[in-house]
């Protein structure tokens, strides 16, 4: 075994919320090449907005798996497509926040393997601040997940789906030295605060969406703006083309599970 930690490492690529057709098409156009160019071993994306902005389903999930995504996390839009209530239990690459109600279908964490046999645990959490619904405590939930995940799994990646940066930073520090990468999704806006904490956990408050930024968080401006200005109900529609990909690469030491490097990438629309 080499003493050089870079030789005992894997490259992960994390994609935030994929917004509707625009996001899916951008990944179809770019993801296989990105995986190749950066020698990516493992890809995680958040699927909560894949179906025209609202939820996902097994067919869309399979499209992403074929492009090279290994695990799809979720969020507050998890059940927008009713079929997904049953579909989520049929594929262990699909996870939903661990701190959903104890009565919810699906699982809050999964373990998947890279092509070279490294095993990676992915945990999904949802915030309690400004997120409605009264979710269970994400701190207690992630402690439970860490107890359940076998000790020989060193690489642990956590999607904290939440509105408040402070709550996401709280989870990041709570898991310093216990997870490889803790990152936020849900706001759809990338943050440039990527860092490696003192005990080796990489952190970023939000990956940002893969969707059109000529929008209001992925939705057509006109109806979103009308709702804000008039305070009247409006149907939101996802912008269907011109997506940017925002994603983050993290190199992780496979022996210790700790992060060696973190780098954001941006692919602008064609
Ligand atoms: Fe989202
Ligand atoms: Fe969300």
**Could you tell me the distance, in angstroms and rounded to a whole number, from the CA of residue 7 to the centre of ligand 1?**
35
Residue ranges of domains in the chain: 5-267
Q: Within a 10 A sphere around the Cβ of 253, how many other Cβ atoms?
A: 19
**Could you tell me the distance, in angstroms and rounded to a whole number, from the CA of residue 120 to the centre of ligand 2?**
24
Residue-wise pLDDT for 28-40, tens only, equals: 999 999 999 999 9
Q: Give the ligand at the shortest distance from the Cα of 49.
A: 1
Q: Is 77 part of the annotated catalytic residue set?
A: yes
Among 30, 77, 161, 186, the active-site one is 77
Q: What does the pLDDT read at residue 1?
A: 46
Q: Within a 10 A sphere around the Cβ of 115, how many other Cβ atoms?
A: 8
Residue-wise pLDDT for 45-71, tens only, equals: 999 999 999 999 999 999 999 999 999
Instruction: Identify the CATH class of 5-267.
Output: alpha beta
Enumerate residues 6+ apart whose C-beta is below 8 A from 36.
none
Instruction: Enter the pTM of the model.
Output: 0.97
* Rounded Cα distance, 155 and 30, in Å: 26
């Amino acid at each position: 075994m080499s003493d050089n930690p870079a030789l005992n490492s894997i490259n992960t690529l994390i994609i935030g919320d994929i917004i509707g057709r625009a996001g899916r098409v951008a990944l179809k156009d770019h993801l296989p090449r990105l995986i190749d160019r950066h020698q990516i071993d493992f890809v995680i994306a958040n699927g909560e907005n894949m179906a025209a902005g609202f939820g996902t389903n097994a067919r869309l999930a399979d499209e992403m798996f074929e492009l090279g995504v290994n695990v799809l996390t979720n969020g507050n839009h998890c059940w927008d497509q009713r079929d997904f209530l049953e579909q989520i239990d049929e594929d262990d690459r699909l996870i939903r926040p661990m701190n959903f109600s104890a009565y919810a279908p699906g699982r809050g964490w999964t373990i998947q393997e890279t092509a070279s046999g490294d095993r990676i645990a992915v945990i999904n959490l949802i915030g309690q601040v400004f997120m409605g619904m009264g979710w269970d405590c994400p701190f207690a939930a992630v402690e439970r997940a860490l107890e359940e995940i076998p000790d020989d799994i060193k690489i642990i990646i956590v999607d904290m789906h939440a509105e408040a940066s402070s709550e996401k930073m709280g989870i990041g520090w709570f898991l310093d030295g216990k997870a490889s990468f803790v990152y936020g999704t849900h706001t759809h806006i990338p943050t440039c605060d990527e860092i490696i904490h003192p005990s080796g956990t990489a952190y970023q408050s939000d990956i940002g969406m893969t969707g059109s930024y000529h929008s209001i968080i992925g939705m057509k401006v006109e109806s979103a703006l009308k709702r804000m200005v008039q305070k009247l109900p409006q149907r939101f529609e996802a912008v269907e083309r011109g997506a940017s990909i925002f994603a983050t690469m993290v190199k992780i030491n496979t022996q210790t599970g700790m992060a060696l490097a973190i780098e954001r990438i941006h692919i602008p629309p064609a």
